[in-house]
Structure 1
Amino acid sequence: MLAAPFSPLIACDEPVDELDEVTADEDEPALTEEQEEALLYREGWSKADDPRLLSKDFNYGFHELPTTGWAQRVPWPGYYWPTYNDSINYRWAGAKVRSPAEKYGAAFGRAGVGTVISNRFGVGSIGGTRACRYDSDCGNVNGRMCGRRRGESRGRCIETWMGICHAWAPAAIMEREPKQGISFNGVRFEISDLKALISLVYTEGLSVRFMSLRCNSKGSLKSQACRDTNAGSFHVALANLLGVRGESFVFDRTYDREVWNHPVIGYKVTRDQEVSAATANDMISGGGSKYRFNPHAVELRRVRTEVYWINEAGPGFNQQLVDNVATFTFTEVYDYIIELDGGGDIIGGEWVGASKRRHPDFVWRPMAKKDTTVAGAVRYSEVEQLMQLAGGGI
Structure 2
Amino acid sequence: MTQRRLLCVALAVVLHLGTGVNGSPLESNPRMDIGPVVVLSHNHPAFGAGLEDAAGDADAKITATNFAAISGDDNSELPGSVSAGEAAPTSSARRLELHGTTDLTRLELFFNTPMERDLTKLPTKAAIKPIPWPASYWPVYQDSLNFKWQQGENVLSPAEKYAKAFGHDTKMFVDKVSAKNGIDSQKHRTACATDADCVPLKDSSVCAKREGQPKGYCIPTWFGICHAWAPAAILEDEPKCPVTKNGVTFQPFDIKGLISLTYDGAKLPTVFTGSRFNGPDNEPNNTDEFGRFRDASRRDLGPGFFHIAMTNMLGLLNHTFVVDVTAGSQVWNQPVRSYEVLQMAWHTPETAGRKFYDQDTYPFNEDAKWLLQVKTRFMWIVEAGEDGPLVSTNRVDAHTQFADYEYLLETDENYKIIGGEWLFGSNQNHPDFLWFPAAPPANSSTTEVGLEYKEVRELLRASVTGNC
What TM-score do you get using the length of structure 1 for normalisation? Answer: 0.86
Q: Which of 19, 35, 45 is residue 45 of structure 2 equivalent to?
A: 19
Aligned-partner Cα distance in 1 for 2:94–2:237: 41
Greater relative contact order (Cα 8 A, min sep 6): structure 1 or 2? 1
Give the aligned residue type for 1:217. Answer: G
Given the superposition, is the C-alpha separation of residues 358 and 40 from structure 1 closer, same or farther in structure 2, using an over 3 Å criterion?
farther
Report the equivalent of 1:198.
Answer: 259
Rg comparison, structure with higher value: 2
Task: Give the match for residue 22 of structure 2.
Answer: none
Higher strand share: 1
Q: Equivalent of 2:411, from 331, 336, 340?
A: 340
* Structure 1: gaps of 5 or more residues: 1-13, 24-37
5+ residue gaps, structure 2: 1-39, 52-90, 287-292
Q: Distance in 2 between matches of 1:349 and 1:93?
A: 48
Counterparts in 2 of 1:218-257, with a 5 A limit? 218-219=280-281, 221=293, 223-257=295-329
Q: Please report the RMSD computed on the Cα atoms of aligned residues, expressed in angstroms.
A: 2.3
Which stretches of structure 1, 4 residues or more, deviate above 4 A after TM superposition? 20-23
Cα deviation for residue 237 of structure 1 reads: 1.1
What pairs with 1:100-111 in structure 2 (closer than 5 Å)? Answer: 100-111=158-169
Once residues 73 and 321 of structure 1 are traced to their aligned partners in structure 2, the CA distance between those partners, rounded to angstroms, is: 12
Deviations 1:76-96 (A, max 9, x none): 011100000000100010363
Written as runs of structure 1 = structure 2, the 5 A alignment for 1:49-64 is 50-56=103-109, 57-64=114-121
Aligned-pair distance for 1:374? 1.6
How far the C-alpha of 1:51 sits from its partner, in A, is 2.8
Query: Contact 1:179 / 1:320 at 8 angstroms: preserved in 2?
Result: yes
Q: 1:331 aligns with which of 402, 405, 428?
A: 402
Superposed CA deviations along residues 234-269 of structure 1, whole A, max 9, x for unmatched, are 001111111112222100011111001101110000
SS in 2 for 1:279: helix
2:389 maps to which of 303, 320, 328 = 320
Local SS of the residue matching 2:272: strand
1:216 aligns with 2:278: yes
| Structure 1 residues 159 and 376: alpha-carbon distance in aligned structure 2, compared to 1, 3 A threshold | closer
Counterpart Cα distance in 2 of 1:345 and 1:15: 36
Q: For 1:253-272, what aligned pairs fall within 5 Å after superposition?
A: 253-272=325-344
CA distance in 1, matches of 2:355, 2:187: 45
Structure 1 residue 222, shift from structure 2 partner: 5.2
Deviation at 1:49, TM superposition (A): 6.9
Q: 1:137, CA displacement in angstroms? A: 1.9
Q: Does the Cα contact within 8 Å between 1:249 and 1:264 map onto a contact in 2?
A: yes
Structure-to-structure mapping, 1:58-73, within 5 angstroms = 58-73=115-130
Q: How many Å separate the matches in 2 of 1:324 and 1:296?
A: 47
The one-letter amino acid paired with 1:153 is: P
CA distance in 1, matches of 2:355, 2:224: 38
Q: Contact conserved, 1:229 with 1:361, CA < 8 A, in 2?
A: yes
Secondary structure, in 3 states, of the residue corresponding to 2:438?
strand
- Calculate the TM-score normalised by the size of structure 2: 0.73
Q: Quick one: distance in 2 between partners of 1:310 and 1:40? A: 35
**Identity among equivalent pairs (%):** 37
Displacement after TM superposition at 1:142 (Å): 6.6
Determine if contact 1:206/1:370 at 8 Å carries over to the other structure: yes
Count of equivalent residues: 363
Q: How does 1:243-392 map to 2 (within 5 A)?
A: 243-282=315-354, 284-289=356-361, 291-314=362-385, 317-322=386-391, 323-371=394-442, 372-391=445-464
